[in-house]
Amino acid sequence: MIRTSEAGPVALVCLGLQRGRLGFGGADRIVVACRRVMEGARARGWPVLHVHSRDTPADHGRPIAGLEPLASEAVFLRPGPSAFSNRAFSQAAQALGGPLALIGFALSDTILATAFAAADRDLRIDVIADAVAVGRREDPLLRAALHAPLEALGPLARLMDSTDLFEESAARFAAANLP
């Protein structure tokens, strides 16, 4: 499904890419996928927003090696479970208008909370499933159970792979530049 031209450019939202999350199930695979998505987004000139937990000890709160924000990318500290608990993030996301592509840690808390908060603000989101950890343990049944609430958000939320995200972006770019 290609989004219509009224949607703004995709903005990548990197959630919880902090060293304290490296103990989560499948973390090595998720870090590789997040790096690939982040590089692809930067190459396409997408806005990249980083959201970190405010309540993380200093050594665990540092960005994961290779996933550090660039000097030109905004970093927000969230006091609550959702990225939208940071007022400046909420304003930035609403100004961008969506869609927001969510990657990072973890579907069981931050990503799900952010998806619901985005829907409350009528912002479209894409959860990039291959670049999202479920939680402290990787469990296919838990992953499937956590996909159900996202699917219930209807047309405002989609689950997709990073390959689909970039193919869709290329198709939107081509369609926008047709004579």
Q: What is the number of domains present in the chain?
A: 1
Work out whether strand 100-104 and strand 11-15 pair parallel, antiparallel, or are unpaired: parallel
Is 5 among the domain residues?
no
CATH, residue 129: 3.40.50.850
CA pseudo-torsion sign 158, 167, 174, 45: positive
Whether 135 is in a domain gets the answer yes
Largest CA distance in the chain: 54
- The answer to the question of residue 4 being in a domain is no
Joined together, the tokens standing for residue 159 give 């689950």
What percentage of the chain exceeds 70 in pLDDT? 87
Tens digit of each residue's pLDDT (9 = 90 or more) over 55-102: 766 566 789 999 999 999 999 999 999 999 999 999 999 999 989 999
51: in domain: yes
Domain membership flag for residue 15? yes
Q: Which whole number is the average pLDDT over 111-128?
A: 94
Answer yes or no: are the C-beta atoms of 73 and 79 closer than 8 Å.
Answer: no
> Alpha-carbon distance 43 to 38, whole Å?
9
With beta carbons less than 8 A apart as the criterion, state whether 101 and 41 touch. Answer: yes
Q: Is 2 a member of any domain?
A: no
- In-domain check, residue 3: no
Least confident piece of the model among 28-32, 33-37, 135-139: 135-139
Does 6 reside within a domain? Answer: no
Domain around 30: 11-176
DSSP states of 58-80: HHHHSBPTT-PPPTTSEEEEESS
* pLDDT at residue 36 greater than cutoff 70: yes
Of residues 114, 34, 96, the one with CA closest to residue 69 = 34
Contacts of 68 (CB under 8 A, 6+ apart): none
pTM summary value? 0.86
